[in-house]
Every structure is written in C-alpha cells, then in structure tokens.
C-alpha cells in the first residue's frame, strides 16, 4: 500500500492549487474489483458550478456526473472495467476559463483475499474488544492535536481523552497472542472531531481519516499487518446509522434529505418491537429508525442513494485498504433494514469470507433472530445479516445462571432454555457471545467480585457455541458499573509510562488476578487446538438440581462441560450422559489437569465448572 501513500499526496497537492481545497471520498480505489462501479464524492467550494470530465484512461469510463443541491458537491460515477490497469486517473474540472486537474489513484488490489485478509472471524477465534484510547499509549506526541475541538487530556476524568493509541496496541500484541487471543476488535478508529466525549469513537466526522490522536492511516494499516504476521485478525467497528454532528457533510449537507430531520429534535424510541409487531403503528416504526440516537449523532438517511453509496463504499474501501477480516455493525436495529441487506450483500460479494455481525441490544431470542439470518417464515422482513452480538445468552443465560437461584425457569435453567431457542437462527455457531462490553457493567462486578463464579463464566465463554469475545481487562479482574458508562472504560494499568501497576506482566498482577489470568489463558490456548470446541456440535442436557451439563464434540474429540451453580457440593451420575460418554473411561479437566473417572458418580465442588477432555 506504499503506492497509495504517494499518490494520495499527489491528489491532495493537485487539489490545493484550486482556490478552495477539494477532497475526494473515497480518496482512492482499485482495479479488478468485483463490482466495477465506484461513486466518488467531490467536496469543495463551488465545485458543482464547473464541468467534470476525465482524461482518456483505458478501461475506465465516466458514466455519470451528479450535481448536488449544494454547489459544494459533485458525485461522479466511474466504471473501472476489468481491462483497467493501476495508475492515476486524471479528473478535469472547468468553469469558464478556469481549469483544474486532479489525480485519482487506481491501485492494484491487495493480495490474499480470503486467505491473508478478509478471512472472517469464526467459532475458531477468540475476539478481544478494546477501547484504543484506554488500552496503551505508545506515542505521547499525538495525545493532543492542534486544531481539533476536544483538547482534553486527563486520565483522572472518565470523560476526557487519556492518550491510548494504535502504536500502544501494536506494542502489546505479543501479550494478547500469549493470552490466546486470535482477533482484535477496536472501537471505531475514524476521526471524531467533536467538542467532547471523543474517547469512544462513535461520532465520526471523517470516514477516510484515522483519528489523529490514535495515529495515522498508515498506523492502522501497520496494525493489520502486525496482526496478520501473528496469524491474528482485525475486526472493524462501523456505524451506518448515524454520524457526528460536526461531520463535514452534516455541517455542509450535500442535499436537503441527507439526514433524517424533524420539525423538532426527535430521538429514537429504542423499541425494536415496532419492526415486527403485527399491531405496530407506522409512527412508532418511523421514530425507531429515523429518530436520532442522541442530539450529537444525526441520523443518516440511508434511503438517499448517495448516502447509501457513501457508506457501502467506505466499507469496501476499509477492507481493501487496511486488510480488515471481520465487520461489526453498531446500533444495527436502528438502520433502514433494506439498506442493511444491500450493504451486507455488497460486502460479501466483494469478500465472500469476511464475517459480519451486528449489535442487536434487544430482549428475547425471537427479537434478536429477526435481525439476523433466521428460520422464521411469516415475518415482514428477511435479514441477510450472518450473525449478531448475542445479548440473549448473556442477559437470559450465563448472567441468570450465576446470579439467580435454580428453579423451573430460573437460574441455570434460563441458560438452557435460551440455548434451546437456537433453532430460530440459521447458523447459531456464528453468534458472538460475551460477558460484557463497553456499554455494560463489568461482569466481575455483576457477580459480586466472586472469583469462583468468574471462573465458571470464563469456562462457559470459552467452551460454548458461537464466537467468544472478551472485553479488555477481563483477564485481570477489572471492575465497574455503568453509572455512568465511563467506569467500565478505565485504563488498562501498565499501558502508560510511569503507571504504578503493570497488568501486562505477571509480577504486576495480584495472586488472585494471576489465578484468573492463568485459568483464562489455559482454556484459550486449549481451544486453539480443540476441534470439538472450535467447530464441533453442541449437545445440552436439561439441568438438574442446579447442575448443567453440555458436550462439544465431533468425530475426533469430545469435551464434557459440567457446571455446578450451587453454593454446595453436588454429586451426579455420569451414566445419565452415556449417549455422549460411551467408550470413554476418564476425562482430564483442562484448567487443573486433574483426571476424573467416568461411568459412576462425579463429585462437584460448589460453584465450579469442569471442562473434561474425554479419553480412554
């Protein structure tokens, strides 16, 4: 990609000769794409008052020129046919006697699609979610950037920037790899030039520029390269539903219907039921989808074809430019779902192996399955989204199992019942399971900082069906409730020069923290070699007396998982599970290495979980 670093500079130099700066979105493109069409937004003072053409370029056709309502924009449609070769396309602008020439880079495609990038994340992976501003500061020189609206830098404030960046993440990839992590999901990395609360990254103001306090586009590309060198993967967090209030195309809208605007500020009702409720009003549906997420996050009108193209092309550009492997879509339920199907298809058409999962913070398996590829028939919309973040196995699963007493529908029976509804998903193995994230209370706090319960939770996370996701600091017992959310977004200790504690090394962790770290690390690295856990089937048994047993198995391996959610010891008869244990005489508990005999009684410690690799 070094070629682009040169040609993009050429593009900007050409633009600078014009009376006002002209920017191109996307800033560059490639030859040999599956879809030969690309729509380029040109933005500059009165750019729309001139005429546009291109210098003859074999294999490239200027298909259409669209003048926007705002003369500061022009949209040009290019056809980059299979015969086109890499080079610089000359775009000519003329108004009266004034002419300008711009160089638009067309590069060779990144090599290794589906093999060395755009590989997708799957049940074979372990995702690590982190907030770049809160993980590690590898370059203090970019902590403050002159000209940006938010000039805060205060680690004592949960709402200010702290200085973490992409170089800090790169510096600690060996730590993550040793832990057993195979994929990295970062909160959005794009520029957030907003007055405050820029640490989370969800109010984008430039889709084609990495947030400079995190680093540069080149730093982001290097992160992808360093991950791929280690056999690890990169997951990008994307927001289609909204953008930042200070985005250039909000402050200077290309056309009147670029955003969903109301006579008075109108916030979404956050009620997903309006989309599938057979009795729902159109007013409720409109408010859900077209209402703003917050006053600082305008709602994009995805039914406007130029908005839709801008968002879709940014997705494709990101994957090709930076070698992204997985795609996480924020606030999925608030988007125009027809647009989302179109967007998902465009990304999968270009990168068939990439994985896509959407945030569906809803309540109930039917609700969640509505937004993903499902087996339901008589519903008003059929989604092509491959997977979601599985809030149901958290809220109505492992959290209930470890915080509520056992009952007919309570406690660990809730986890069993929720899992039994997997028939609603087309492929439940693609669901992303988790204990917490940047919007939720830290799970260790939810369970009363009980390390026995926490080991059970981690054992479940790393052996259950789906794609497991850890939140940074899970491995060293980070705590916090969302009162407010900044308390679950604290710094990873040791990530800043001069930190008194360093959780990246064993000597910087307490004995309790090292116990949890080693438990997690052992299971995470075991699952790397376990075909049964990575790609095998799941069989669960009805919980009895607070004990839940499930198996992960394939033709080569069987793993028996035994969860005792009681505060007292329990004994179970393993003959009940002969359907899966026949032919096996013993099992080795992976976290402890202890052997257990099968074919009779099995004693279980209070609040504990065995992960037994069965053998003869």
Residues identified as active-site:
330, 359
- Backbone torsions φ then ψ of 134, nearest 5 degrees: -120, 5
- The span from the CA of 575 to the CA of 585, in Å, is 11
Strand, coil or helix: 201: coil
User: Quick one: tokens of 334?
Assistant: 């608030």
Report in angstroms the alpha-carbon separations of 517 from 105, 158, 248, 473, 476: 47, 26, 44, 10, 6
Task: Please provide the DSSP assignment of 418-449 as one string.
Answer: HHHGGGGBS-GGG-EEES--TTS--HHHHTTS
- Packing angle, helices 217-229 and 305-322, rounded to 10: 50
Q: What is the DSSP letter of 244?
A: -
Runs of H (alpha helix) within 324-421: 337-350, 365-370, 391-393, 399-403, 412-420
Provide the total of helices (H) and of strands (E) in the chain, helices listed first.
18, 26
- The span from the CA of 399 to the CA of 461, in Å, is 12
What region does 177 belong to: left with phi over 0, alpha with psi -120 to 50, or beta?
Answer: alpha
Cβ neighbourhood burial of 141 (10 Å; 0-12, 13-18, 19+): exposed
* Structural contact between residues 214 and 165, judged by C-beta atoms closer than 8 angstroms: yes
């Amino acid at each position: 990609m070094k070629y682009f670093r040169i040609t993009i500079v050429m593009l900007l130099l050409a633009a600078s000769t014009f009376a006002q700066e002209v920017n191109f979105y996307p800033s560059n493109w490639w030859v040999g794409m599956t879809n030969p069409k690309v729509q380029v937004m040109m933005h500059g003072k009165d750019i729309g008052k001139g005429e546009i053409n291109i210098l003859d370029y074999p294999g490239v056709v200027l298909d259409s020129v669209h003048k926007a309502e705002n003369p500061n924009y022009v949209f040009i449609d290019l056809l980059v046919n299979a015969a086109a070769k890499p080079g610089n396309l000359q775009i000519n602008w003329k108004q009266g006697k004034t002419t300008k020439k711009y160089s638009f880079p067309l590069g060779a495609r990144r090599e290794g699609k589906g093999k060395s990038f755009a590989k997708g994340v799957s049940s074979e992976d372990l995702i690590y979610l982190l907030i770049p501003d809160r993980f590690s500061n590898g370059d203090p020189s970019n902590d403050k950037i002159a000209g940006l609206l938010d000039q805060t830098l205060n680690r004592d404030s949960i709402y200010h920037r702290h200085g973490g960046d992409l170089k800090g993440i790169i510096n600690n990839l060996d730590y993550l790899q040793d832990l057993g992590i195979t994929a990295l999901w970062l909160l959005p990395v794009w520029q957030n030039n907003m007055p405050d609360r820029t640490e989370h990254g969800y109010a984008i103001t430039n889709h084609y520029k990495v947030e400079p306090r995190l680093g540069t586009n080149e730093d982001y590309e290097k992160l992808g390269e360093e991950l791929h060198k280690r056999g690890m993967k990169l997951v990008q967090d994307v927001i289609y539903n909204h953008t930042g209030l200070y985005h250039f195309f909000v402050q200077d809208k290309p056309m009147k219907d670029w955003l969903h605007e109301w006579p008075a500020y109108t916030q979404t009702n956050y009620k997903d039921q309006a989309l599938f409720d057979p009795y729902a009003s159109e007013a409720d549906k409109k408010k859900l989808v077209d209402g703003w997420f917050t006053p600082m996050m305008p709602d994009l009108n995805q039914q406007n074809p130029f908005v839709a193209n801008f968002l879709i092309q940014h997705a494709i550009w990101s994957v090709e430019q930076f070698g992204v492997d997985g795609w996480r879509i924020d606030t999925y339920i608030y988007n125009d779902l027809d647009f989302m199907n179109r967007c998902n298809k465009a990304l999968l058409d270009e990168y068939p192996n990439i994985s896509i999962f959407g945030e569906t913070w809803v309540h109930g398996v039917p609700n969640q399955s509505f937004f993903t590829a499902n087996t339901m028939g008589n519903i008003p919309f059929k989604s092509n989204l491959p997977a979601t973040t599985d809030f149901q196995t958290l809220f109505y699963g492992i959290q209930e199992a470890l915080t509520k007493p056992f009952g007919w529908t309570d406690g660990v029976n809730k986890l069993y019942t929720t899992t039994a509804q997997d028939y609603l998903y087309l492929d439940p193995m693609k669901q992303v399971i988790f204990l917490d994230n940047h919007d939720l209370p830290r799970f260790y706090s939810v369970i009363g900082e009980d390390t026995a319960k926490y080991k059970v939770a981690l054992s479940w996370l790393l052996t259950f069906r789906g794609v497991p996701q850890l939140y940074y600091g899970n491995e060293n017992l980070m705590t916090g409730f969302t009162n407010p959310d900044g308390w679950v977004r604290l710094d990873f200790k040791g990530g800043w020069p001069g930190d008194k504690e360093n959780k990246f090394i064993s000597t910087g962790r307490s004995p309790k923290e090292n116990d949890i770290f080693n438990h997690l690390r052992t299971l995470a690295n075991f699952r790397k070699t376990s075909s049964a856990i990575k790609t095998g089937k799941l069989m669960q048994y009805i919980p009895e007396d607070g004990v839940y047993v499930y198996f992960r198995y394939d033709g080569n391996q069987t793993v028996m998982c035994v969860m005792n959610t009681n505060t007292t010891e329990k004994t179970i008869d393993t003959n009940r599970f002969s359907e899966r244990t026949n032919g096996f005489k013993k099992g080795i508990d992976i976290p402890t290495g202890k052997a257990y005999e099968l074919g009779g009684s099995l004693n279980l410690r209070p609040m504990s979980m065995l992960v037994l690799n069965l053998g003869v």
